[in-house]
Chains A and B, each alone.
Chain A
Amino acid sequence: MPSTQDSHYLEREVEIRNPDGLHMRPAMQIVDCASRFRARISICKNTQCVDGKSIMQVTMLAATQGTKLKLIAEGEDAPQAIEALALLIQNEKFDIG
């Protein structure tokens, strides 16, 4: 995808690792995290892409354990946003196992 001089477009695949999957509390953590950045954040499950800053849309993904999601960030702080989200989802596993 094209990127202009002052904006970044980044994609990264992450896997849902906590046993309960992306239920409401993790979904809220994603929205909180995404909302800290100015970048536009999309989260995709297969062909379904949703706004990473909308709690309803993120919960609608219903991503179970083992689901692979694609994170897309567009904007100046996209690199930081992708980093923070990947850390939350894959490494910290939302701090709940």
Chain B
Amino acid sequence: MKLSDFMVGKAIVPKLKSQERDAVITELVDSLVQAGCVPAAHKKEITQKIIEREKQGSTGIGKGIAVPHIKHPSVKQIVGTIGCSKEGVDFASLDKAPVYSVLLLISPPNNPDRHLEAMESLFSHLQREMFRKFLRQAETREEIEDLLQEADESQNNNRL
């Protein structure tokens, strides 16, 4: 699966306003609502579910990355966005270090296999140091969109 299959370019937040986990999650869900990918009526519920999920076990996987995600019936296909923080956000990460790149995903509940494919795609790029570095250094939405597009293209080339 390509990143562009689920990452919503116009919902990307290149400079997160908040440095606090719950507020960052709220900001990103809000951005998906603004982009028309999540119905506004479910905004509160989705935000709360993601925070709840995060409390059960942090998705801060280390190396400055967190991947908060849930399944919710209000979305028909997987939607995701990215938020970047120069200051760092405390996500209670495995390595205790601050998070600079937050990748948030909402998947429909009825297709767990497709959710796994999206995660596979995301992590195949996230485990590359250059990808993480460029993501962290990006200043604008355009730079992040370019990075995602290049990542998708490099994946294609590798498979040819």
- Contact surface of A with B, Cβ cutoff 8 Å: 19-25, 28, 54-57, 59-65
Contacts and interface: CB of A to CB of B under 8 A. Distances in A.
B3 interface: no
A93 to B, nearest CB: 14
Given A28-B57, A55-B94, A23 B62 contact: no
B136 interface: no
User: Is the contact region of chain B dominated by helix, strand, or loop, or is it mixed?
Assistant: helix
A24 B69 contact: yes
19 contacts: A19-B112, A20-B112, A21-B112, A21-B116, A23-B115, A23-B119, A24-B67, A25-B57, A55-B62, A55-B94, A56-B61, A56-B127, A60-B119, A60-B120, A62-B116, A62-B120, A63-B116, A64-B113, A65-B113
Interface of B: 57, 59, 61-62, 67, 69, 94, 112-113, 115-117, 119-120, 123-124, 126-127
A25 B115 CA distance: 13
User: Is the contact region of chain A dominated by helix, strand, or loop, or is it mixed?
Assistant: loop
Contacts of B69: 24
A19 B109 CA distance: 12
Contacts of A57: 123, 127
Contacts of A23: 112, 115-116, 119
A24 B112 contact: no
A28 B117 CA distance: 17
A63 B59 CA distance: 19
